[in-house]
A and B are shown apart, each in its own frame.
Chain A
Amino acid sequence: MAAIFEQSGPFDEDSILVERFVAGDKEAFETLYRKYYAKVFSLSRGVLLDSDEAADITQEIFTLVFRNLPRFNRSSKFSTWLFRVAINRSIQEGRKRRFKNKPLELTEVLEQPAPETKQEQSDPTVQATMAQLAPQDRAILTLFYWQELSLNEIADSMSINLNAAKTRLYRARERFRVIYEVEDKKL
């Protein structure tokens, strides 16, 4: 059975879970959720650069997937479709945040309760660098370096062709490197 699950194609594990869910088995979706939550959260966080917002968006993404999974046409892998939904939703939210966010006044900062200490230890240089990139650049870097997807998978997930994926990745990592070096010198 394991051999069957390992192969990609219409009979991979994800496809079976999708079929079970469409047939009414809600636990099948729970399995998919547990399997992909970390990846989707990581992707959203890479685009949004905020863990809380990423957690909210991740829930929203899975809600969208839950609602629309019966309409999933199985022309691509479930994971590709899921990442496509996640990327689009995260980039959409990232663009919204760009216009929504404004610098906080000092009084506002003082009035706010102290933020909870996060267990994660982000590299401030990387964070500062990522914050200066466009959401699309952050998305492709996240998919490639964090999710470790192949260029073909990235192309499928971003609904672009392979050459476009290569070009976008090349430009994104060059931008990242240039800004990273500047930020690294600052700190």
Chain B
Amino acid sequence: MTWALDHAADLSRKAAARLAEGRPDVAAAMFVRAFDTLESPGARIPGSEDLRLRILEGLHAATAKTGDPSALVPRLAMMATAAVRLAFVPSLVRKLAVDLARDDGDAVGIYLAALESRRPLDRPTLAAVLRILARALRIRSRSEPEEVQDLVPKIERLLACRPGLDFPRLYLARYHHAVEQWGRARQLLLGIRGPMKTDIKVLNLLGRCAEKLNRPEEAVAAYERSLRQREAQGLIHFRLGRLLLGAR
């Protein structure tokens, strides 16, 4: 263990020297080796967090010069919760979201950690991050629950740190509806306060949950509001007719 710490520290010092010599590509490779010495599977060294954070700072400095953060992102994602307090994170998030539009799992992990940290992001960066998360975490009406269940904890994290957002509520409601937790789905939908409140996707799902929960009048009201938004919805006319008829 001590050997690994000493070895990583030694590599990190040498990498910093290479960076100072103007060889960021070599420095980046050495920082990666240093980090991986401490983070390789099954070999995480206890008490190495400070060193790993210093390595990440060095790796960021090196990749900032090469212009390619691909070596940094997965390593930052590994310890995103701790690493988001590093000074460079907001600028990295901006680069990932605005410049590179990264929506892979590592980038999403960094975005979520950045949002959870409450560190301020500039408006364009925040808008880009939310746009990417809305796409990357999307659960569709027809999504199979087992295919999207890994997204649920991420969406819940997002909703916990940004409770005013509408789309995580809709996505979670779709998931809970799919697994027949209609009460939870309804609760999420009723919590939508923004522009999506009158979206037909929200109203139709709310109507469906109300039907399942034997709240026919609530379902009728939701479907009627939906049809006011868009009249040409055959399925909603059908459901509304069925409800008014009292048929099952």
Is chain B a partner of chain A in the same complex? no
